[in-house]
Structure 1
Amino acid sequence: MTTMPSLLISFILLLLAVVSTDAATIYHLNKCPYTVWPAAIPEGGGIRLDPGQSAIFHAPAGTKAGRIWGRTGCNFDANGQGSCSTGDCGGVLACTLSGKPPVTLVEYTLASGSGSDFYDISLVDGFNVPMSIAPVTGSGCHAISCAADINAQCPPELKVEGGCASACLKFNTPQYCCPAPATPATCPPTDYSSFFKRLCPDAYSYAYDDRSSTFTCAAGTDYQVTFCP
């Protein structure tokens, strides 16, 4: 029987330690007066959080295009099959697909090594539940929030059951959806995106709202996502 050289073993252990260090712990806290079923892809699946409850999951370093959102009005059987009034992801508890709009999104991409994480709150798919994301480790990182009750102030033409639709979702026109080859110059903010931005300045309000809505933190940072902050 052959054995690995001690130098190779040491290198593997060091590599595992680096990967473990860069992985993010993401805490979920439900401060809403109602039950929320958080969902996350590609890591996190789905859980139920009654008011005041919390949970955690771990997202590996290098996770790309992660999404976290809250579902409401859900009913699931013992096999995890069912449906939600908002944010449904194909009728299952453990999501593998994005939630059905309108839905408030926390989006993130995790770096590894000496890189930077990127995170944001997006209302491009509309709004259903107030959310925030705050780094709980690391320095010089910003907590961001969309705590306004947008549903209560939603323009009548954007109101849908359980939420406030984006203008793109509701009207599906180039003016609001900014399809390629649109640019920031040819697809500026609209009255509807400005409505979302006024209530939630930290959040993406339309496709080209990058400058004031994307935030970074060092790789290996842990985060807390709060529903109804």
Structure 2
Amino acid sequence: MKPQLSYPDLVKAFTRFRDAEPEPKGELVHDSAFTLLVAVVLSAQATDRGVNKATEPLFAAARTPEAMLALGEEGIAEHIKSIGLFRNKAKNVSKLSRILVEEYGGEVPSSRAALVALPGVGRKTANVVLNSWFKMPAQAVDTHIFRVGNRTGIAIGKDVIAVERAIEDHVPAEFQLHAHHWLILHGRYTCTARNPKCGACVLGDLCCNEGKTA
């Protein structure tokens, strides 16, 4: 297993991320906790671009739990049929909307336990909502973060939970809020799964990857 980057190197790494992008944001279009929650639920096994294309007309028709319930499962499915697994996702969005209306007064809860109890919502989805909307330092580890964390030595772990813990344990507190956004964007556009752009990487001198390319 590769070594975890030292604290001084982590400070250097995240300072460089911050200098390049002081206020990183997710790429899913939303304007409320509810629209963010729905967008993240729909993003499983789908691209952000594909989700945004589907949610534009969906949110024009229904942008609250009450309106989503009125639209109905079939109405939701009609709007998101361009997305993979759209029928199951439509069912989950309808069910979670009903729970939000009946149990939370139409509001999205700011508790991870409450969020993961909703249909279609796992730990990663809950962490995205907690971080992006409620501004909590929750780490939503996806395939990009898992790869970047292990490849660079920023956060070493054998699974996503271990990498999440490694970020929480090792990344300096001042960088925790934006850490997962910086790592996702780095993995999406620079430290890609195939042919990583090592020559353009701001972490070139810090990275633990022995297979770095010029």
TM range (shorter): under 0.3
**Greater fraction of residues in helix:** 2
**Which protein shows a greater Rg?**
1
**Greater fraction of residues in strand:** 1
TM-score (norm 1): 0.25
TM-score (norm 2): 0.26
